[in-house]
A and B are shown apart, each in its own frame.
Chain A
Amino acid sequence: MKRLSRYRRHKAAGPALLIFALLAIGTTFSVASANTTAQTTTADRSALIEEGRQIFLKGCSSCHGLNSEGGVIAPSLVGVGAASVDFQVGTGRMPMADMSTQAMRKEPLYTPEETAALAAYVASLAPGPEIPTEAQLNYERDGSTAEGGELFRNNCAMCHNFAGQGGALTQGKYAPTLMGVEPKHIYEAMITGPQAMPVFSDKTITPKEKMDIIKWIKHAESEPNLGGASLGRVGPVTEGLLAWTFGLGILIGVAVWLAMKAR
């Protein structure tokens, strides 16, 4: 301690202390809140629905109402179906961290078992879109990449961009990137139409067509960039930026060297 106190007037002491304090508060908070979650899951597990209801009351009812009737800040969950819950909770969008225009994908707060319980509970309130089955997700075998591409460009690219990188909507809303999304969640998003996204009914885009789309998205995700680094797959803007900074920049650098007198 004595050795440390020799540096108490060092000019880096202030910032270092600040960083230390922030780290300490942050870790304490996440540890403490994790504990809270652990207590909930040790509750009675007799019926999945009952468990879901308990989780719901603890973590969701403050916004969505004690009977899922909704309120000013959150919609009713009656009729949204298991698929909606599996999507929203499974991608970490719910519980919503900050009450802005759109829920962000983040690390899920609930485990897959808890998510299943919540889904079962909400599904029990009223009929709604169901979680897709194994058969509906067998895109590797039953999907067609080429048809998926056609469907994607017709129905998805206008919001999510030609390569599924995402795009801007109005007033702070956005269509998120589709890279790194589980096939199950892609399917669920299509049939439930989360937030600003419209619903893509199974009659207008059939289950087979949905598999095609998922197959194409997964292909786009894994397809290596043939010509070099991808620059984000967002089009000419990043290309122009690179041409000006890297391209012209290097050339001007060489030009300066060229015109300099040698030693």
Chain B
Amino acid sequence: MSNEIEAIKDPGLPAHVHRKADHDPVAARRAERQVAAMFMISALGTVLMIASFFIPDDVFVFVPVMGDQNAHQLGLGLGMAISLFFIGMGAIHWAKTLMPDQEVIAHRHEFRSPDSDRKEFVDTVKEGAAATGLGRRSLIKRTLGAAVGLSAISPLLLFRDLGPLPGDDLKKTSWKKGTYLVTDPGDRRIRASDLEVGAVAQVLPESDDPEHRKLNDIAKDAVLLIRLRPDEFNLDAERLSWTHEGIIAFSKICSHMGCAVALYEQTTKHLLCPCHQSTFDVTRAAKVIFGPAARPLPQLNITVDAEGYLVARDPFYEPIGPSFWGRISS
């Protein structure tokens, strides 16, 4: 087999094909009129936009497929779209039909500089470097390094007050022994008898100022209350003692990445987090049965007070929410 591949000779640019408008003045005038028409349509679009600006915003028009549309919004948007689009169409059509379309050849130049320039460049740099004397004056070199290095690092210190140190903030919630469970929203205390089997309630700890709850607190305190039949649990004695007559409480903040885990499937007794589909089994203390969550949802130890209102017995036994380095391993 021959190793020679005969190079295909460059046939050069193909013969130029003229457009209608190039040789036929009628076609050229038609193209001109088409371009002008497009610019006129654009102007009409602008008029539509200006007119629509003054349409009151409670007027609706019916558009097939889309349904009732707000006339003000639709007119404004369509007017703007038409006015812009047809400027573009006009300009492009103009370029395509009337402007010269003879292809032009430009030559590439090699980027590599001539050797003499390169040598001169190297020499310039070398001479300049030698002129600094750094090669000989190592004291200057070392102290220069220290000065620049230190002054570069020190501004980082100015960012220290971006935020407080976490301390043990991530490990604490507002739940303490004796904190009442209240509905979210509504802030009503909940009796055990308020919940039927299969019921679910969104819960927050009772607050002194329920009108002004801080989102920072809600992000850690949100709890989900679920009522099962007591025989449906599959828990050890200790965790069972944290429930009350089939009512069990979990932190609502997903142990994976912190979304609110509130989808409760009554038939399967599973909790589903809609973000990444971690699934927790309520009957086994929110054990993870599917998905990327690595830990169960922390269970809240609850009981009732003398009047039958649900109340927390203890704070959460471990940090709620997503993991972090210093979290005590569970």
Contact = CB atoms under 8 A, between A and B. Distances in A.
Direct A–B contact present (CB less than 8 angstroms): yes
Contacts of A167: 263, 274
A198 B264 contact: yes
A158 B260 contact: yes
Interface residues of B, number: 49
Contact of A170 (B21, B183, B270): B270
B9 to A, nearest CB: 25
Interface in B282-314: 290
A127 interface: no
B199 A204 contact: yes
A249 interface: no
Contacts of A147: 185
B201 A204 contact: yes
A261 B239 CA distance: 77
Contact of A155 (B67, B202, B267): B202
Contacts of A200: 199-200
A104 interface: no
Contacts of B38: none
Contact of B17 (A158, A196, A261): A261
A209 B73 CA distance: 34
A158 B191 contact: no
A12 B66 CA distance: 36
Nearest to B77: A228
Nearest to A227: B73
A150 B185 contact: yes
B150 interface: no
Interface in A192-230: 193, 195-201, 203-204, 206, 209, 224-230
A78 interface: no
A224 B60 contact: yes
Contact of B265 (A173, A227, A254, A257): A173
Interface string B158-202: 000000000000000000000000011110001101111111111
A263 B27 CA distance: 10
Of B21, B73, B260, B263, most buried by chain A (CB within 10 Å of CB) is B263
A234 interface: no
B226 interface: yes
| Nearest 8 pairs of A and B residues by beta carbon | A203-B194, A198-B200, A199-B199, A262-B96, A158-B262, A204-B201, A196-B265, A224-B68
Given A167-B274, A254-B92, 15 more contacts: A158-B262, A159-B263, A170-B270, A196-B268, A200-B200, A201-B195, A204-B199, A204-B201, A206-B186, A224-B67, A228-B66, A228-B69, A258-B96, A261-B96, A262-B101
